[in-house]
Amino acid sequence: MKTWVEISKNNLIHNLKTFRSLIGPDVALMSVVKSNAYGHGLIETAKIAQEEADWFGVDSVDEALELKKQGIEKPILILGYTLNERLKDVVQNDFSQIVYNEDTIKKLGELSNELNKKINVHFKVETGTSRQGIGEEEIIERLKIVKQYPNLIIQGLSTHYANIEDTTDHTYAMKQLERFKDYIQLLKEQGIDVPIKHTACSAAIILFPETYFDMVRAGISQYGLWSSKETLVSANGKARKIELKPALAWKTRIAQVKELEPGTPVSYGLTEKVSRKTKLAILPIGYWDGYDRHLSGMGNVLINGSRCKILGRICMNMIMVDVTDVDEVKPEDEAVLLGRQGDEEITADELAQKIGTINYEVVTRINPLIKRIIV
């Protein structure tokens, strides 16, 4: 392999056990593996996480089907939207589905009659994130639809916080929590006591036990990444000493080593010229692989335990790095794009800061065709 991703089984299990220690034995732990497990590999991650997780959360029915095909037996909740024409796949495979649209609920109800099967749905309620969800003015009408279909079961009630991780002021999140409790009461008044209530993402699990209810959804931090630096600061402020261990390393191999004379330009656009006699290593990866082009001229990779600067523009399938100060560099030596080598480490947070984004995007955008290997 010219490039590959390594997933540490020990680190992933460590992070899940950390969450389990926080929530205790009576709260269900969902491992969110949507979007190729945040870039870590859907199947590879799920096969490890099933040792600790009670549920899996995915974005699409296709992800759910892939988990089932690979022998995952834990219950699966589809968090994202499912087209009406694909809802039969949900029903026939006994997946649970987040719902909010009237048409989705009606279609599932009709399928429950047609197939004579019980169907579990989770109402997603709008508490202030302004994404998918049922508003207070709509929920009674949605409940009326559900009551028309005896096989349609409201298994869960959920919401998502808009500002629990990017701030140290959690006033807005606590208002959302109170709105969620209002929905619980409203459903009780309608004679519905929902068995699985869930609101907590990674940051909420770490910071606020009052958000746990019956289940929590471990996302980015099960992979060893903090939701944000504010979450880390808040955790330290609450004296919650939590160690997260990154589960992902991304590696490649040197394709060529060459020497350049001072003043020689490197890569497209001649955006960078070397100022000294330079030893250059060419790595066979680029923005096709998910290595962001904004790292051109300022990113680093690790070779023989040393940080090596990227020179010039990142190409579709190649990057060039300065290895002048690294001894005994040769073709097919390992280079680390993300992760640790010797005493040096390149983190997803470091790359995110350089390109003006979040660690979520850095790992999630690693090309899913690149092989994930469990180590």
**268 included as an active-site residue:** yes
Tally the domains of the chain: 2
Residue 276 within any structural domain of the chain? yes
Q: How far apart are CA 176 and CA 178, in angstroms?
A: 5
- Final residue in a domain of this structure, among 206, 237, 268: 237
Residue 3 within any structural domain of the chain? no
Query: What is residue 240's predicted lDDT score, i.e. its pLDDT?
Result: 80
Query: What is residue 238's predicted lDDT score, i.e. its pLDDT?
Result: 83
Weakly modelled stretches of the chain, pLDDT under 50: none
CATH number at residue 298: 2.40.37.10
Out of 34, 107, 124, 251, the active site residue is 34
**245 included as an active-site residue:** no
Residue 361 within any structural domain of the chain? no
Contact (CB, 8 A) for 174 and 141: no
Say yes or no: 267 and 126 in one domain: no
Say yes or no: 27 and 100 in one domain: yes
* Nearest CA among 5, 16, 3 for reference residue 245: 16
Say yes or no: 97 and 124 in one domain: yes
Say yes or no: 121 and 42 in one domain: yes
Query: What is residue 239's predicted lDDT score, i.e. its pLDDT?
Result: 74
CATH number at residue 22: 3.20.20.10
Say yes or no: 203 and 277 in one domain: no
Tokens of 292: 């962001």
Q: At what angle do helices 42-49 and 61-69 cross, to 10 degrees?
A: 60
Q: How far apart are CA 205 and CA 217, in angstroms?
A: 8
Say yes or no: 272 and 187 in one domain: no
Say yes or no: 223 and 272 in one domain: no
Query: What is residue 303's predicted lDDT score, i.e. its pLDDT?
Result: 98
Q: End-to-end CA distance of the chain, in Å?
A: 16
Residue 140 within any structural domain of the chain? yes
Residue 80 within any structural domain of the chain? yes
The pTM of the full predicted model, rounded to 2 decimals, is 0.96
Out of 69, 238, 268, 330, the active site residue is 268
Say yes or no: 222 and 254 in one domain: no
Say yes or no: 258 and 221 in one domain: no
Query: What is residue 365's predicted lDDT score, i.e. its pLDDT?
Result: 97
Residue 209 within any structural domain of the chain? yes
CA 260 to mean position of chain CA atoms:
41
* Nearest CA among 210, 212, 240 for reference residue 226: 240
What domain range is 339 assigned to?
248-346
Residue 362 within any structural domain of the chain? no
Say yes or no: 256 and 341 in one domain: yes
Say yes or no: 200 and 257 in one domain: no
Residue 68 within any structural domain of the chain? yes
CB atoms within 10 A of CB 122: 23
Q: How far apart are CA 301 and CA 308, in angstroms?
A: 5
Say yes or no: 177 and 314 in one domain: no
Contact (CB, 8 A) for 286 and 318: yes
Query: What is residue 146's predicted lDDT score, i.e. its pLDDT?
Result: 96
Contact (CB, 8 A) for 146 and 109: yes
Query: What is residue 235's predicted lDDT score, i.e. its pLDDT?
Result: 93
Query: What is residue 69's predicted lDDT score, i.e. its pLDDT?
Result: 98
